[in-house]
Amino acid sequence: MNSVLKSLSTEDLTNELNIAKARFEQLKAANLSLDITRGKPGTDQVALSNRLDGILNGDFIAHESKIDSRNYGNFDGLPEAKKLVAPLLGVLPTEVFIGGNSSLSLMYHTIAFATFFGVPNGIAPWGKGAKIIAIVPGYDRHFTLTAELGLELISVPMTAEGPDMDMVEELVKDPTVKGIWCVPKYSNPTGNTYSAKVVDRLAKLGKIATSDFRIIWDNAYEVHHLVQNGDQLTNIMELSRTYGTEDSVLIYGSMSKITFAGAAFAYTGMSPTNLKWFSKHMSMITVGDDKVNQLRHVRMFKDLSDIEMHMQQHAKIINPKFEAFYKVFDQELKDLSYATWTMPNGGYFISVDLINGCASKVVSLAASAGLKLTPAGATFPYGKDPEDKNVRIAPTYPPLTEVEQAAKLFAVCIKVVSLEEELGQR
C-alpha cells in the first residue's frame, strides 16, 4: 500500500480526487482513441526496412551456398542466414534452425514436441501435469500457449537481477518441473536484463533438475537497445557447455522487431542433440521455411554490426516515446508515490506497479475514455495478478503526440482510482 497517500488528510485526498476527476472528464471529452496494448513497432520503424522488397534485384541465388531460394529444400534454412543470426543467439551457425515468421511458433512447437513426444534424454513425454516455471510479471503469450498444451504454470517473482533463483533452484528438485520461461534481456514487461550471476545459476540448473528439464530462453530483445551502451547479457550456451548442461538450453529470437513485424524470420539455437530432435519433428510439419525472405535479410545485413547500426535508428524513433511516459510519470505520479515504474535500457515495455487492487480499475477507467491498455493480469499466468497491481505499457506503436496524450490520460486514471481506493478505506 501507499504510505504517502495514507499520510494525507481526507480533505487533501478529496481535493486531489476532485481535481483528478475534472481532468479525467476533460480528457474523456476529447474522444481519444489510443492503443498502447501491444509491443508493435511504429510505422516509421517498419519503414526503415522498406528496401527489403526488391533488394534481391533478380538474383535469388545465395552467394556462398549457391542455393536457389525460390525452390524447396534446405528445410532448416539458408547457411548464410544461420551465419547471420548465430551471434544473436550466442550459438554456433551449425546449432541454428531458421523458422518461419514467428519465434512464438518455434517455441510452441518445441514445447508441443516435448509434451506429446518427449525430449532427448527424457524417459517419457512431458505429458499433462508437467509444470513450467513462469517468471512474473511476464509475457502473456508464453503463459497461454503453455496452458493450451495442458501444462501447469508456477509463478516465480522477477527480481532486479532476474528470476528469484533460490525459489527456482528449490522448485526444479521436483522432477515434474520440466521447464522455465525466460525473457532474459529487456524482459517483457519489466525491461530488466538477467545478471551474470543469475545466468550462471540458470546454466547450472541442468545439474539439479530432471534430465528432460529445459530452459526456454526467449531472447527477443538481444539488440533492441533504447540507449547507447545498453545491457549486456551473459551467453548462456557458452556457460552451459562448460557445465555440460547444454541440452537444457533452448534459445529463440526473431527478425520481426528488426525489420518487418510478422514478415521477417525467426530462429532457434540448440545443442546438436536437441537440434536433431527438433528438426526430425519439424520435418513432419514443413518442407522448409521461406528462403527468399531469408536471403533478403542476408542481403540487407552483412553481419551483426550492420544489424546493430540499424537498431540505433529504431532507438532514435522509440526512445522519445518512452521518455514521454517518464516525463508525465515524474510530473504526475512521483510526489504522492501513486506508482512505481521501470525505465529499461531496451525492449518494448514499461512495467507499472500501482497500489494493490487498482490495476483492473485503471484499465477499465482508461478504456472508458478511449485508451486501450493491456488487460490487467495479462502479465501473469491464467491472467490473474494476485495483487492486481501491474499494468504493462507498450509505447512504441502510436505517434509521439498520441503517446503523450496516452501518458497523461493513464496518469490521471491512476490518480482517480488510487485516491478513490484510499478514501474508500477510511
Pick the stretch among 16-24, 48-56, 151-159, 316-324 that binds a second copy (CB under 8 A). 48-56
Task: Based on the shown chain and the rule CB under 8 A, indicate whether residue 69 belongs to the binding site for a second copy.
Answer: yes
Task: Based on the shown chain and the rule CB under 8 A, indicate whether residue 148 belongs to the binding site for a second copy.
Answer: yes
Quick one: cell of 359? 490495476
Closest approach, Cβ 288 to a second copy, in A, equals 5
Torsion of CA 5, 8, 14, 19, to 10 degrees: -70
Contact indicator for 147, 110 with CB cutoff of 8 Å: no
Kind of pairing, strands 340-341 and 177-182? unpaired
Closest approach, Cβ 130 to a second copy, in A, equals 14
Closest approach, Cβ 52 to a second copy, in A, equals 8
Closest approach, Cβ 167 to a second copy, in A, equals 27
What mask of x and - would describe binding to a second copy in positions 112 to 131, judged by CB under 8 A? x---x---------------
Task: Based on the shown chain and the rule CB under 8 A, indicate whether residue 316 belongs to the binding site for a second copy.
Answer: no
Q: Which residues pair with 251 in a beta bridge?
A: 217, 269
Cα distances (Å, whole numbers) of residue 184 to 91, 135, 253: 16, 10, 12
Beta strands in 188-303 (DSSP E): 214-218, 249-254, 266-270
Going edge to edge, which strands form the sheet with 177-182?
96-98, 266-270, 249-254, 214-218, 177-182, 131-136, 152-159, 162-163
Task: Based on the shown chain and the rule CB under 8 A, indicate whether residue 424 belongs to the binding site for a second copy.
Answer: no
Residue nearer to a second copy on the CB measure, 30 or 292: 292
Task: Based on the shown chain and the rule CB under 8 A, indicate whether residue 367 belongs to the binding site for a second copy.
Answer: no
Task: Based on the shown chain and the rule CB under 8 A, indicate whether residue 288 belongs to the binding site for a second copy.
Answer: yes
Distance of CA 312 to the CA centre of its chain: 19
Of 117, 173, 114, 170, nearest to 146 (Cα)? 114
Pick the stretch among 108-116, 193-201, 346-354, 362-370 that binds a second copy (CB under 8 A). 108-116
Give the interface size with a second copy as a residue count (CB under 8 A).
51
CA gap 356, 337 in Å, rounded: 13
Site for a second copy in 203-262 (CB under 8 A): 256, 260-262
Task: Based on the shown chain and the rule CB under 8 A, indicate whether residue 343 belongs to the binding site for a second copy.
Answer: no
Judged by CB under 8 A, the residue of 144, 195, 319, 356 near a second copy is: 144
What mask of x and - would describe binding to a second copy in positions 81 to 100, judged by CB under 8 A? -------------------x
Task: Based on the shown chain and the rule CB under 8 A, indicate whether residue 291 belongs to the binding site for a second copy.
Answer: yes
Closest approach, Cβ 21 to a second copy, in A, equals 34
Closest approach, Cβ 154 to a second copy, in A, equals 20
The burial class, CB within 10 Å (0-12 / 13-18 / 19+), for 417 is buried
Closest approach, Cβ 84 to a second copy, in A, equals 18
Closest approach, Cβ 311 to a second copy, in A, equals 17
Task: Based on the shown chain and the rule CB under 8 A, indicate whether residue 374 belongs to the binding site for a second copy.
Answer: no
Q: What is the DSSP letter of 323?
A: H
Judged by CB under 8 A, the residue of 71, 94, 211, 305 near a second copy is: 71
Closest approach, Cβ 2 to a second copy, in A, equals 36
Task: Based on the shown chain and the rule CB under 8 A, indicate whether residue 47 belongs to the binding site for a second copy.
Answer: yes
Closest approach, Cβ 43 to a second copy, in A, equals 7
Helix, strand, coil percentages (3-state) for the chain, rounded to 5, are 45, 15, 40
Residues in CB range of 421: below 8 A, 6 or more apart: 355, 357, 358, 361
Pick the stretch among 18-26, 89-97, 285-293, 353-361 that binds a second copy (CB under 8 A). 285-293
Closest approach, Cβ 312 to a second copy, in A, equals 20
Task: Based on the shown chain and the rule CB under 8 A, indicate whether residue 55 belongs to the binding site for a second copy.
Answer: yes
Residues in CB range of 183: below 8 A, 6 or more apart: 135, 138, 139, 142, 218, 219, 220, 221
Q: Which residues pair with 177 in a beta bridge?
A: 131
Of 237, 260, 221, nearest to 349 (Cα)? 221
Contact indicator for 392, 379 with CB cutoff of 8 Å: yes
Q: Which residues bind a second copy (CB under 8 A)?
A: 38, 40-41, 43, 46-47, 49-50, 53-58, 60, 68-73, 100-102, 104-105, 108-109, 112, 116, 141, 144-145, 148, 256, 260-263, 281, 284-293, 296
